[in-house]
């Protein structure tokens, strides 16, 4: 197609000489096709349009801290500056993240046509939002809620990928994740950026964090909610479950479902 357009002197933003094609919007850019279809062509073939070549040692990148604030699941401020317009907030984070090359990835993905494709992606703002949001999720919600959030999130992400964002099943997932997970996500996360995806989380604060060092401390703490004797009791109860599992595995072995006829699941300790 690019050759045909060139032969007919038609305007075209890419040329036959370019090693790949690019599509982009405010949330990110994708580079694919042509030479990028060959797995021996690395990410370094790409000329970033949303950031810097973090792999290039000649590119100077200074360490920078960014503070992102969320209110009921929505990003509302960057480095203390409030944004009423989410588009402007995304632009700000794109600029900050782009200076470090964060959010640039090389992915082989499963397409909806049951085939695989390879692409190089840029999404600096989305990467920063993901890091900060996930940090707050892990600090606020319990283990089972987080597990369900991740499972349902993957399902919702796949529906979005397939262009089914407004299907009933997507609406159901969006409603539940927004109502019961996102609504509790309020707080601020500070991230120290270096090169590429090299970063550190410097601070996490919020009005309703479940994490509390006073509840479960490795140090000696007066009136701790969970102390050494509680741990012993917890291990005792856990051992009952482990014993049940061992008995079940012995049963499976006796029935020939594990190992051969001479298979010993638990061998005696030689004296």
Clarify whether residues 46 and 109 are in a common domain.
yes
147 part of a folded domain = yes
Q: What are phi and psi of 66, to 5 degrees?
A: -130, 135
Clarify whether residues 122 and 194 are in a common domain.
yes
Q: What are phi and psi of 72, to 5 degrees?
A: 50, 50
Clarify whether residues 67 and 135 are in a common domain.
yes
Clarify whether residues 197 and 241 are in a common domain.
no
Mean pLDDT of 121-140: 98
- Residue 252 three-state SS: helix
**Which residues are bridge partners to 188 per DSSP?**
69, 205
Clarify whether residues 29 and 11 are in a common domain.
yes
DSSP secondary structure of 173-211? HHHHHHHHTGGG--EEEEEEE-STT-EEEEEEE-TT-S-
- Residue 224 three-state SS: coil
- Alpha carbon 212 to its chain centroid, in Å, reads 24
Clarify whether residues 131 and 16 are in a common domain.
yes
pLDDT at 37 over 60: yes
List the alpha helices (DSSP H) in the chain: 2-7, 86-98, 124-140, 143-161, 168-180, 228-254
Written as six digits, the tokens of 77 are: 């401020």
Clarify whether residues 37 and 77 are in a common domain.
yes
pLDDT of residue 96: 98
pLDDT of residue 269: 47
Of all residues in the chain, the percent with pLDDT exceeding 90 is: 66
| Owning domain of residue 169 | 142-180
When pLDDT is cut at 50, 70 and 90, the band that residue 262 belongs to is low
pLDDT for 162-220, tens place per residue?
999 999 999 999 999 999 999 999 999 999 999 999 999 999 999 999 988 777 665 66
pLDDT at 89 over 60: yes
pLDDT at 161 over 50: yes
Clarify whether residues 173 and 186 are in a common domain.
no
Listed residue (136, 166, 27, 128) closest to 72, CA to CA: 136
Clarify whether residues 62 and 124 are in a common domain.
yes
Give me the CATH number covering residue 43: 3.90.1260.10
Domain tally for the chain?
Answer: 3
271 part of a folded domain = no
pLDDT for 224-253, tens place per residue?
666 677 778 888 888 888 888 888 888 877
When pLDDT is cut at 50, 70 and 90, the band that residue 259 belongs to is low
Q: Is 142 exposed, middle or buried (0-12, 13-18, 19+ CB in 10 A)?
A: exposed
Clarify whether residues 228 and 124 are in a common domain.
no
50 part of a folded domain = yes
Clarify whether residues 27 and 136 are in a common domain.
yes
Whole-number Å distance between alpha carbons of 135 and 90: 19
DSSP secondary structure of 127-151? HHHHHHHHHHHHHHS-HHHHHHHHH
pLDDT at 270 over 80: no
């Amino acid at each position: 197609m690019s050759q045909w357009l060139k032969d007919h002197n038609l305007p075209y933003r890419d040329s036959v000489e370019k090693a790949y094609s690019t599509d982009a919007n405010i949330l990110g850019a994708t580079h694919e096709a042509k030479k990028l279809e060959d797995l021996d062509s690395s990410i370094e073939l790409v000329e970033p349009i949303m950031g810097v070549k973090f792999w290039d040692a000649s590119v100077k990148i200074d360490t920078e801290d960014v503070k992102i604030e969320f209110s009921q699941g929505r990003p509302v401020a960057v480095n203390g500056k409030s944004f009423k317009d989410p588009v402007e907030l995304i632009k700000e984070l794109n600029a900050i993240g782009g200076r470090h090359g964060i959010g640039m990835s090389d992915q082989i993905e499963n397409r909806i046509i049951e085939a695989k494709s390879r692409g190089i992606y840029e999404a600096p703002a989305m990467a920063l939002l993901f890091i900060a949001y996930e940090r707050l999720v892990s600090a606020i919600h319990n283990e089972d809620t987080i597990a369900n959030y991740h499972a349902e999130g993957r399902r919702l992400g796949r529906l979005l990928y397939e262009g089914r964002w407004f299907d009933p099943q997507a609406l159901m997932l969006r409603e539940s994740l927004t109502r019961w997970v996102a609504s509790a996500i309020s707080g601020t996360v500070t991230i120290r950026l270096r090169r590429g995806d090299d970063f550190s989380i410097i601070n996490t604060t919020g009005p309703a964090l479940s994490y509390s060092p006073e509840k479960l401390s490795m140090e000696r703490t007066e009136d701790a909610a969970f102390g050494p004797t509680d741990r012993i009791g917890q291990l005792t109860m856990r051992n009952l479950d482990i014993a049940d599992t061992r008995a079940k595995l012995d049963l499976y072995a006796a029935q020939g479902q594990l190992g051969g006829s001479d298979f010993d699941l638990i061998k005696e300790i030689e004296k």
